Each structure stands twice: as C-alpha cells, then as structure tokens.
Amino acid sequence: MSGLRYLTAGESHGQAVLTILEGLPAGLPLDEEYIERDLRRRQGGYGRGGRMAIERDHAEILSGVRFGKTLGSPVALLIRNRDWENWTERMSVAPVEGAVEAVTRMRPGHADLPGAIKYGFDDVRNVLERASARETSARVAAGGVARRLLEEFGVRTHSHVVAIGGAHAGDGEAEPDWESVEASPVRCADAQAASRMTAAIDAAKQEGDTVGGVIEVWTTGLPIGLGSYVHWDRKLDGRLAQAICSINAFKGVDFGAGFRSADARGSATHDVILPRDRWPDDRPWAHATNHHGGIEGGMTTGEPLVLRAAVKPIPTLAHPLPSVDLRTGGEVTAHYERSDVCVVPAAGVVAEAMVSLIVADAFLEKFGGDTLDDLRAAYEHYRARAWPQGTGPADRRGEP
C-alpha cells in the first residue's frame, strides 16, 4: 500500500505526546536534530504564554530508523511533557486516593461543552487535555518527517503571517523573503506591519484578551498532477482544506486569490498557460499568473501551492467570559488556565506540518516505491514524460 498515514496520542499535561507514521520508504536519511528545528519554531512567536517557558520539545525516534535511515517500517516519535511532574496526581493513569478538583466551568469557543456532553463527562479536564493545542507538537514532529522526504525532491514548504488582530501586511503575490520571516517575532517579513501586529498583541494582553489572524503557506517545487479530479476525496485542495481546518483555532482556508477572486471577472482570475518558449528551464507548462494557488481541478499545476488560513483568537482568556457550570447549569465565569495571547505565528508552523503531511501522502500515492531509490526513479520518469517530445531540459540545452 502506498501513501502516508499517522496517528497522534497524548494529553496536554500527561506524560508525553507521540505519533506513529506508516508508509515511509526505506533509505530516507532522518535524525532527531532535523525534526527538532520545527518543534523549536512552533514554540516561538510573539504572544506565547508561560507553558513555552517550561517545555523544551524534543522528539525521540523510538522505531523505524537504523543508522540514520528509515527502514520502511513505522516510525514512532515521542515528545515528553516536562510539565508532567506538576500533574502526576491530576493526570494519573491509575486511580488515586481522595478527590481531585474537577473543572466544570466551560469556556465559550472551546471543545468543553460539546466534548463533555458527547462523552458523558462531569469533569471538563477529560476534554480539554486532549483538545489542547499541545497535541500539535506531535503533528509538527510528524510533519518534519514528511518535510524531510519532500526535500529529497526539491519541494520546500514555508509559512508567514499576513495579519494579526486587524493589522495586515501588504497583499503581494510575490514569494516572501523567508529569512526575514524567520527573523521576525511575529513571522512577518513586512517590518512595519509586524510592528502593528506586536502592538495589537500588547493591547490585547493588557486587556486580558486574545487576538487571531491569518497565515499563508507556500509549497514550491511540486510536480504537475498530485491529487486527482476523479473522486471528491482525492482532490488535493479538499484534502488540504480538511487538514488545515483540523488544527486547533483554524476557521477557514482558501487557495491563491481565494475569496478575493469572487469579486473579479473570469478574464482576470484564470491562470493563462504560457507557450513552451517561455517555460523555465526546470519545469514545463508554466502559467503567466498563479491566482488559483497552484491547484486546478483538485491537482497541482506545477506553480507554487499557496493557501491562506484564518486563525481565531484562542478561547482561554485572562479576563474570562460569562459561561455556565457543567454540573449545575448555573451562570459562572469561564475556566482560566495559563494560556497564550496570540498563537498565529506558531500556527503557521503547524500549518506547514499539515501541508507537508498531505503533500507527502499525495506524492507517495502517485509515485509509490518501497525504497527512496524506487520513489526517485518513478518521479524522474514522470518528470521526463511531462515534457512534450523534444522540449525537455536536455533538448533545450542542446544535450544528447
């Protein structure tokens, strides 16, 4: 079976979060230091709370790798929670003597109410521990492995922040300067916009509130034809939209011009295909624009895959909203536990991971192969087939 699948497990204040990935080819170079880079990026960003001062996320590779290369068997990754030592009784796996204080004051905007009713809990902690964004550390670790696979084929994924708390960066279509993005405390290359964003975060913090925003993810170096038009669940944009909206606090996603194209005419929206004398040396069938964000008919076009996503303000507020007690139904103020003011910069890193996982799955689905060499051979054969006869890179350079 080709393709990539994974599961995560663990609670926010439990012993660890972990993930198991299945479907990787054998022979892929992989080490813990590579994965840790993205885990550090996830923990950064202006507006993060006290939990990030406690945790120093590191993914231990427990299986599936020997002598620095994947074996083709499942890869298991474990991220220990350093804060667990403060929660050993409240999050004990075994029964404990005496009463443990329950959380019954539900937070508007969180999974608290529907989760407690769905599973029949009288303690909201049973919901909030798993519904916590702490789970995304396991996704980022898994996404780091997917990113490593895609890099073997020249595919790169980055993200940047385009809005926080009503402060927006410019709407340019050019690829951002990624070094400037990573140097920014809010992961925004526009220094003036970044200053407005940090001010919005500071104002919300002072008022005991939170802010959301918008992130944009770019994936470059993709071949034409990942995904498919033949069934609804194989369309790549549909798979990506589901993956992005599965991340905590994400409430919407579009591709390329997205909702902005709804106000434009068709003649100004669709990406004209260029004649072959205007194709770049490294790929055929280039387009004059990329308004569709690199996806047409559920498949990649070879242009950069560009998606934007909206991140709502997180629901745990220092000045809690009015709410209701789970057990009594009486009016209370919502539960407050140490939290962030803004997670948008970090959310972009999680979105990168989810995009990498979905794209890697589509890549393996198309090219298959039990080993990295098999995968590469299928990929190179397809790349050569995509060029019209006599117009490939070698032909255009006059090479045999």
Q: Are the CB atoms for 15 and 92 separated by under 8 Å?
A: no
Look at residue 201 in the predicted model and tell me its pLDDT. Answer: 96
pLDDT(165) > 90: yes
Q: What is the DSSP string of 266-281?
A: GGGTS-PBPPGGGS-T
Residue 397 lies in a domain: no
Look at residue 271 in the predicted model and tell me its pLDDT. Answer: 96
Q: Which residues pair with residue 16 across a beta bridge?
A: 80
Residue 398 lies in a domain: no
Residue 54 or residue 13, greater confidence: 13
Q: Which residues pair with residue 167 across a beta bridge?
A: 164
How far from each other are the two terminal CA atoms of the chain, in whole angstroms? Answer: 37
Residue 342 or residue 55, greater confidence: 342
Q: Token digits for 172?
A: 């340019």
Q: Which structural domain, as residue segments, surrounds residue 152?
A: 5-92+99-386
Q: How much of the chain is in helix, strand and coil states, percent to nearest 5?
A: 35, 20, 45
Q: Which of 12-16, 47-51, 132-136, 146-150 has the least mean pLDDT?
A: 47-51
Residue 394 lies in a domain: no
Q: Are the CB atoms for 17 and 8 separated by under 8 Å?
A: yes
Q: Token digits for 332?
A: 């209370």
How far is residue 360's CA from residue 367's CA, in Å, rounded to a whole number?
10
Look at residue 395 in the predicted model and tell me its pLDDT. Answer: 57
How far is residue 216's CA from residue 36's CA, in Å, rounded to a whole number?
22
Q: Which residues contact 114 (CB under 8 A, 6 or more apart)?
A: none
Residue 309 lies in a domain: yes
How far is residue 217's CA from residue 240's CA, in Å, rounded to a whole number?
11
What confidence category does residue 222 fall into, taking pLDDT thresholds of 50, 70 and 90?
very high
Residue 400 lies in a domain: no
Alpha helices in 277-317 (DSSP H): none
How far is residue 307's CA from residue 351's CA, in Å, rounded to a whole number?
10
Q: Are the CB atoms for 130 and 17 separated by under 8 Å?
A: no
pLDDT(155) > 60: yes
Question: Residue range 38-51: average pLDDT?
Answer: 84
Residue 296 lies in a domain: yes
Look at residue 400 in the predicted model and tell me its pLDDT. Answer: 39
Q: Which residues pair with residue 321 across a beta bridge?
A: none
Residue 332, phi then psi, degrees to nearest 5: -145, 175
pLDDT(51) > 70: no
pLDDT(398) > 50: no
Of all residues in the chain, the percent with pLDDT exceeding 90 is: 86
Q: Which of 54-58, 131-135, 226-230 has the least mean pLDDT?
A: 54-58
Strands (DSSP E) contained in 225-292 are: 250-255
Q: Which of 49-63, 166-180, 213-227 has the least mean pLDDT?
A: 49-63
> pTM here?
0.94
Question: Residue range 326-349: average pLDDT?
Answer: 92
Look at residue 1 in the predicted model and tell me its pLDDT. Answer: 44
Give the closest residue to 193 by CA, choosing from 174, 168, 214.
Answer: 168
Residue 391 lies in a domain: no
Q: Based on the structure, what is the number of domains in the chain?
A: 1
Q: Are the CB atoms for 94 and 114 separated by under 8 Å?
A: no
What confidence category does residue 327 fall into, taking pLDDT thresholds of 50, 70 and 90?
very high
Q: Which CATH number is 277's domain given?
A: 3.60.150.10
Residue 393 lies in a domain: no
